[in-house]
Amino acid sequence: MVVKIQRPYPPVVSYTENEGMNLTLESTLQQLPLYRFQVELSQLGQEVKRTLEANPLLPGAILTDKEKFVGMISRRRFLEHLSRPYGLELFLKRPIHTLHRLAENQLQVLMFPGNTLIVDAARRSLQRSPEYLYEPIVVQLSETEYRLLDIHRLLVAQSHIHELTTQLLKENTQSQLIQTEKMASLGQMVAGVAHEIRNPVNCILGNLQFLANYSQDLLVLIEAYQKVISTSNPEIEQLKEEIEFDFLREDFPQIIGSMQVGADRLSKLVSGLRNFSHMNESNPQPADLHECIESTLLILNNRLKQGIHLIKNYGELPLISCYSGQLSQVFMNLLSNAIDALVEQPPQAGEQPWIEITTTLVEESPASLVSIRIADNGSGIPTDIQSRIFETFFTTKPVGQGTGLGLAISHQIITQKHQGQIRVRSPYLPSGKGTEFEILLPAT
């Protein structure tokens, strides 16, 4: 709705009603109903009075001098000055400049660009002194275009966004609770499956060594028979050709060796799954952090094969009293984020993507600390969001790809469950890129 009032020297009043606004968490002031009432300082006060009387919702007037912004006067301030002794005689038949000059020291104009977030504007407006709390806000849409925003409208919009935030938080919380229950059930299932797989794997590993010894003994026995039996048998020679005996004798030990390597790897993977699934540990237990890291790397091995060079600088670490399954989850989150960063935005051509894991024992007073640093040469984390990366539900990934819980949960596990610290440094490299996360844990 646009209201226009024509006067001999017309101030222009326009008000666009935006009922049923589709506000979001990122909505700005220019999405709210704004008033345009611009008054030259040379205009008479009675013109302003008539306009305010004709438009009861108009919060005030924008004051200009030769169309240049000089200030604002609210409806409440204007009527307050008119109600004073001789106010009508002083201000109605004189230019509004007289009133502005008198009230200038009493006014504090709060101005925001049109793209200011509603939540930010509401917070700052509520921080004003009580006497200015209900003064309208000036919204600057361009260098020469200004609008007025009624504080009531701003607070209603803020209340709407607050309700929307609460609803979204409730929905996200419910969704994450369901996901957490699924992950907990999955962890129990993985632990059970890993336990069931481990027994036959151990059986295979144990018998492979016997098989290797038996096969070697049989080959030795066959060679002994060949030396004793000097005359060759045509039937035996034909059979040796059919089974390619010479190749079999060389390849047999190699096959058993490759089976041994595969079974060893499967055993380590099963152990890694069992360690990673220890999420419901009731008490901290001594653990080798290098084993936790290696278990996590085994699970991520397929993703690391995407051309990412892994650098491991392991120092001498003591056993750490910790919740090993939860620390494995932290390592999983940090390493997964590093891999995502390198895959989504690879380094420049000719530069190989890499992830570096460094562990050291830091001697600090009053107690020693264990440091685990996980760094990459990706694009880095923008400075303006680094303070928010550990917030619950904060994510820069597209919808459906990120929950905003990985780093928040990691921060909670390190700081609350282990009384440690987790730090981020980005950019990490002299080139202005890269990210490094450092975890500090008590060594005792």
Picking from 331, 342, 323, 244, the residue whose alpha carbon sits closest to that of residue 296 is: 331
pLDDT at 188: 63
Confidence grade of residue 313 (pLDDT, cut at 50, 70, 90): very high
Confidence grade of residue 10 (pLDDT, cut at 50, 70, 90): very low
Confidence grade of residue 228 (pLDDT, cut at 50, 70, 90): confident
Check if the beta carbon of residue 57 is closer than 8 Å to that of residue 15: yes
Query: Looking at the predicted structure, is the pLDDT value of residue 6 above 60?
Result: no
pLDDT at 337: 87
Higher pLDDT: 259 or 438? It is: 438
Give 180-209 pLDDT, tens digit per residue. 566 556 656 666 677 777 778 888 888 888
CA dist 373 and 294 (Å) reads: 14
pLDDT at 397: 59
Confidence grade of residue 306 (pLDDT, cut at 50, 70, 90): confident
pLDDT at 7: 42
Query: Looking at the predicted structure, is the pLDDT value of residue 113 above 70?
Result: yes
Environment class of residue 117 by beta-carbon count within 10 Å: exposed (0-12), middle (13-18) or buried (19+)? middle
Check if the beta carbon of residue 393 is closer than 8 Å to that of residue 409: no
For the whole prediction, is pTM greater than 0.85? no
Higher pLDDT: 163 or 178? It is: 163
Query: Looking at the predicted structure, is the pLDDT value of residue 314 above 90?
Result: yes
Which of 1-15, 89-103, 222-236 has the weakest average pLDDT?
1-15
pLDDT at 294: 87
Give 120-138 pLDDT, tens digit per residue. 888 888 888 887 788 898 9
Q: What is the mean pLDDT of residues 220-243?
A: 80
Check if the beta carbon of residue 13 is closer than 8 Å to that of residue 51: yes
63: helix, strand or coil: strand
**What average pLDDT does the chain have?**
79
Confidence grade of residue 315 (pLDDT, cut at 50, 70, 90): very high
DSSP string for residues in 252-286: HHHHHHHHHHHHHHHHHHHHHHHHHT-TT-SS-EE
What percentage of the chain reaches a pLDDT higher than 70?
A: 80
pLDDT at 371: 93
Check if the beta carbon of residue 432 is closer than 8 Å to that of residue 409: no
Query: Looking at the predicted structure, is the pLDDT value of residue 8 above 70?
Result: no
